Amino acid sequence: MRERWGRVRRLLAVRLDNLGDVLMTTPALAAVRRSLPGVHLSLLCSRSGAAARPHLADVDDAIVYDAPWSKGSAPRDPAADRRLLQQLEQRGFDAAVIFTVYTQSALPAALMCRLAGIPLRLAHSRENPYELLSDWVPDPEPAQGIRHEVERQLALVAAVGLHCDDDRLRFACREADAQALSARLAAAGIGPQEPLLVVHPGATAASRRYPAAHFGLAAERVARDSGLRVVFTGGADEAGLVAEARSVMQQPSLSLAGLLSLGEFAALLRRARVLLSNNSGPVHIAAALGTPVVDLYALTNPQHTPWRVPARVLNHDVPCRNCLKSVCPQGHNDCLRKVEPQQVADATLELLAESGAAPALAPLSSPPIAYA
């Protein structure tokens, strides 16, 4: 370990994108915790990422920040930037690790950390950051290939001597959430031992959504051949997708769209025999819990596949792969649309035949979240 980093006692981990990205950073956060046992580890994250905080045992607290260099739906007030700078300076951090995907620049966050007086600043960067970073890791992506997101972040912290032996994703379920989920299922007539197939037809980006009716057709076949009860999930704004999927089914199913907290949703995934989903945050929660995944994986980028969990990754190859777009630039979504529901059902049944029991519950207390 580099001597300067061995003396760090207050560390800021910067991860400003979505919940799934935070989860794929948890092995690197575990490396920080294992290598610096007495460190106080704070997470600077988006509101979406902060939702995971109560389930991350390696993180002591979270600061929520809507960064103006990240995608947003509304103009950002520069006063929030000044408040964040003041808060970071008051917290007296010794070091900051800035986690980004290879298409993002770490330099705006590096500048904020420098202005806040944080002396050690580590990040990947393709361009020379000069004094913005104290520890610069030249970014090999995409010129030298594209790593899985977990590997990228582990390599970043390893550059300053931070390591751990277990590179699995982390997400701790809580007993209260499991009890609330059990009560909700019982009210719908689902007992504690009834085997479940969870289907999540939504995704924030339109380019990553498999047709909802195709989800329903695949779930119908799996339910008929396996006897699993189908439970659909999603946000309240995805209830229409769930209704479309259920409309083509004859087998019984349950919709919990818009009804579950994140903790209850995780408890449901822990109970599921398989998750059938678009590639989105639920896939990474399932991976952290050890729940097998059938992942309808749009070919927008290659580095976010299910990590260290039994999985089937399904798509149709297209010449426009790795487009990095939230909306299909060709207007056809062929990388998902051309995957037949029969293929999805076959993959799910194969995975069911191979998979074992879900992992055990790991309760977690919940340190506070601060809002910048």
For residue 319, the model assigns a pLDDT of: 79
Residue 52 lies in a domain: yes
Residue 368 lies in a domain: no
Q: Using alpha carbons, list the distances in angstroms from residue 260 to 183, 187, 267.
A: 12, 14, 10
Q: Are residues 300 and 254 in the same domain?
A: yes
pLDDT in tens, 167-216: 999 999 999 999 999 999 999 999 999 999 999 999 888 888 899 999 99
Residue 131 lies in a domain: yes
Token pair 């991860």: residue: 15
pLDDT in tens, 231-257: 999 999 999 999 999 999 999 999 999
Provide φ and ψ at 371, rounded to 5°.
-110, 120
For residue 367, the model assigns a pLDDT of: 45
Q: Are residues 141 and 268 in the same domain?
A: no
Element spanning 35, H or E: helix 19-35
pLDDT in tens, 275-321: 999 989 999 999 999 999 999 988 777 889 999 999 999 987 777 77
Q: Are residues 147 and 188 in the same domain?
A: no
Last residue of a domain, one of 170, 199, 234: 170
Query: What average pLDDT does this structure show over 24-52?
Result: 96
pLDDT in tens, 355-365: 754 333 333 34
Residues 350/312, Cβ–Cβ less than 8 Å: yes
Tokens (6 digits) for 349: 């049944």
Which residues touch 166 (CB under 8 Å, ≥6 apart)?
27, 30
The pLDDT confidence band at residue 101, using thresholds 50, 70 and 90, is very high
Residue 367 lies in a domain: no
What's the domain range around 320? 175-354
Q: Are residues 129 and 198 in the same domain?
A: no
Q: Are residues 233 and 299 in the same domain?
A: yes
Residue 359 lies in a domain: no
Alpha-carbon distance of 347 to 232, in angstroms, equals 18
Q: Are residues 193 and 295 in the same domain?
A: yes
Overall domain count for the chain: 2
Query: What average pLDDT does this structure show over 97-126?
Result: 97
Residues 20/280, Cβ–Cβ less than 8 Å: yes
Last residue of a domain, one of 170, 189, 214: 170
Q: Are residues 136 and 282 in the same domain?
A: no
pLDDT surpasses 70 at 370: no
For residue 187, the model assigns a pLDDT of: 96
Share of the chain above pLDDT 70, in %: 94
Q: Are residues 326 and 220 in the same domain?
A: yes
Can you say how many angstroms the Cα of residue 226 is from the centroid of all Cα atoms in its chain?
29
pLDDT surpasses 90 at 11: yes
Alpha-carbon distance of 18 to 50, in angstroms, equals 9
Query: What average pLDDT does this structure show over 224-229?
Result: 95
Alpha-carbon distance of 275 to 270, in angstroms, equals 10
For residue 73, the model assigns a pLDDT of: 65
Q: pTM of whole model > 0.85?
A: yes
Q: What is the CATH number of the domain that holds 336?
A: 3.40.50.2000
Share of the chain above pLDDT 90, in %: 81
pLDDT in tens, 263-276: 999 999 999 999 99
